[in-house]
Amino acid sequence: MRYQNGTNLKGHTALLSGQLLRAVNFLHSEFMISHMDIKPDNLVLDVKTYSIPILKIINFDIAITTNTHMKTSLTCGTKDYMAPEVQEGRSYYPFLANLYLCSICMEELLGLESPEDCTHCHKAFRVFAKKNYADTLPRSVLH
């Protein structure tokens, strides 16, 4: 991922990854919104307002309002950025599908290419989901 002027963002990966997770958690916990199309094209950086880049999520055209216990089988989003269960038309929890989308974006941001690197990233997201959603999601989802 690069700034518009071509400067590499690699030095900011931890910062931007944390901002993405906090923003998605905010959408889920405060507004009960599942974006459903989190991808690099829907992430922008504000590099002028603050001394550090601030990541913002845009394009809520297909976002849905839901609750943590509600499943859906709605197929929406960008194919390469959909969770497997969304692509397959199976029933899924929209908030967990959003976390999957975050992991795909982080893989790209971090430049992860090997299956081992990606597996490590997905394990980290499972830990995050258990920590932040353990009280709201059915136990079977988090194991």
Q: Which residues are catalytic?
A: 37
What DSSP letter does each residue of the chain carry, written as one string? -B-TTS-B-GGGHHHHHHHHHHHHHHHHHHH-EE-S--SGGGEEEE-SSSSS-EEEE---TT-EE--TT--B----S-GGGS-HHHHTT--B-HHHHHHHHHHHHHHHHHT--SHHHHHHHHHHHHHHHHHHHTTTS-GGGG-
41 contact partners, CB below 8 Å, separation of at least 6: 59, 78
